A and B are shown apart, each in its own frame.
Chain A
Amino acid sequence: MDKPLVKPLIDVKDLTIRFETPQRTFDAARGVSFTIGREKVGIVGESGSGKSQTGRALLKLTPKVATISAGHMRFKDTDLLAASERDMRKIRGNHISMILQDPKYSLNPLMRIGQQIVEAYRLHHRSPKAEAREKALAMLESVQIRDPERVFTLFPHEVSGGMGQRIMIAMMLIPEPDLIIADEPTSALDVTVRRQVLTILDELVTRRGTGLMFISHDLNLVAGFCDRVLVMYAGRIMEDLPAKELPKAQHPYTQALLQSLPRLDAETEELKVPVRDPSWLDGPVYRNGVLA
């Protein structure tokens, strides 16, 4: 891959997210290191692998009981570890924004859609209302909402899931962030709608040169959509490789995951169920096909 001369947007080294309760201590992420440039990076893993917590840690949105520690965790020139809550508020939305799984829960049900987008814009840009409204309408159009004037006045319950997710994308993109963290943005959607939403997201991200961290459990989806894939297991990145190289993955866990999926192009009588090797917990990991 073209190693950029510019600095990556996100540079994380040895990130550990520890949940400490009187009963037990649990590390959701154990020494996770990665960088994200202006590219689409997919983070795949099963439930409990720590992928969502890693995404949230970048915005310091992990639950209060969790403590984050790392060698370093930087966003451009900002040291996220040292950043105060006040600094974080400037970063959230403005520089790094987040798209969540279900638009039903992330849109305010009592506020018209247009108002929510305008609010998102005006929070970050001092601008007159009329200008913000125009921006919002243009943004709705760019996520291929055919009748933006009408949708502007609707409430969230009046739109479908696919449209809701496109509205979320519009809202997240309008402050023109440098990085978008999308946590399972399409799991609640149908395949045909999913394709439409991803096509829009892909186009906007590519055109604006926004970085994208795409968290998903769907290996095939990530392989088709992202430039690079990080495979997480038990709080560690097992493998970091270009999406195109996924069929040639080295780590037995990545291979096992790929083999456990039913495939349309190859008929099998029985699917391979991954046999979890305890040595993976602390064993070697791979980067671009070689041991890291």
Chain B
Amino acid sequence: MKSPMKPTRPLIEAIGLSISFGPLHARNRVVDDVSFRINKGEAYGLIGESGCGKSTILRVLSGLNGDYEGALTLNDRELPKKRDKDFFRRAQMVFQDPYGSLHPRKIVEKVLSEPLKIHGFDRHSERIAETLDAVGLGASFRYRYPHELSGGQRQRVAIARALIIEPEILLLDEPTSALDVSVQAEILNLLKRLRVERNLTYLMVSHDLAVIAHICERAGMMFKGRIIEELTSQQIRKSEAREDYTREFLQASVEAVERGPEVAA
């Protein structure tokens, strides 16, 4: 495990981040004054109900949405609202739905060679082979179309596409929630292994607490656009929360049904 103890400067920092949608006369503030820090090599999670703003933060950080107030920094330098190419080389995103995020008419090789071309990498063929190997897909997958792959294999291709340009940061938006539990286990193991091997930094959004506790060291609990508290994975496991809402959320994730004390086993 990495120790976030050293007083290092954070790799990613959000300072007073606010995001609003809607026309000017009826602005709807979905993220409200959010600040957090992620150190290099750390995995940070964002948890909360749908609509709490967790995916919105991820989309803003990844540069998909440039309309925000406050600042986002990478290595102590503020990121421009319109991100440059260098940022995209250093931070890559993996989306929830592997069925929707791969082009149906492109074979795996084409999917993987595009980012190489865009970012001016050499040795395309070797890099593709190496990356496919790193995500546990053999060379035989290189010339397949997405429809010839299972859900788990597609998600591996999506992860390979993100990794092939050797980023430092992976932004993970519910990367396993569309997958079966056995496939989820594969992908989570893969993410865990890759982080150690490549010293990656993760920002992961999920509604599944067990997944967050498994991957991340720390997580921010979001409620109505704010991070109401930060928890370590140990605190999540032990349900040690300060806020009532967090406690309720943790409880709801552990027990399916509210029951009287006599039935609860």
Contact = CB atoms under 8 A, between A and B. Distances in A.
* Pair from one complex: yes
Interface of A: 46-47, 161, 190-195, 198-199, 202, 217, 219-221, 224-225, 244, 256-257, 260-265, 267-274
B180 A262 contact: no
Contact of A195 (B182, B192, B255): B255
Interface size class for chain B? Answer: 20 to 34
Given A192-B249, A261-B185, A267 B237 contact: yes
Given A46-B180, A192-B248, A262 B258 contact: no
Interface string B224-263: 0000000001001100000000001100111111100000
B249 A260 contact: no
Residue with the greatest number of chain B CB neighbours at <10 A, chosen from A199, A257, A262: A262
B207 A264 contact: no
B237 A191 contact: no
A257 B207 CA distance: 20
A46 B210 contact: no
Nearest to B183: A46
A264 B209 CA distance: 8
A161 B213 CA distance: 26
Contacts, number: 88
Nearest to B233: A267
Contacts of A263: 210
B222 to A, nearest CB: 12
A199 B253 CA distance: 14
A273 B256 contact: no
Contact of B182 (A190, A270, A274): A274
B257 A195 contact: yes
B149 interface: no
Contacts of B49: 190-193
A273 B185 contact: yes
Contact of B181 (A224, A225, A257): A257
B189 interface: yes
Contact of B188 (A161, A202, A225, A262): A262
B9 to A, nearest CB: 29
B90 to A, nearest CB: 28
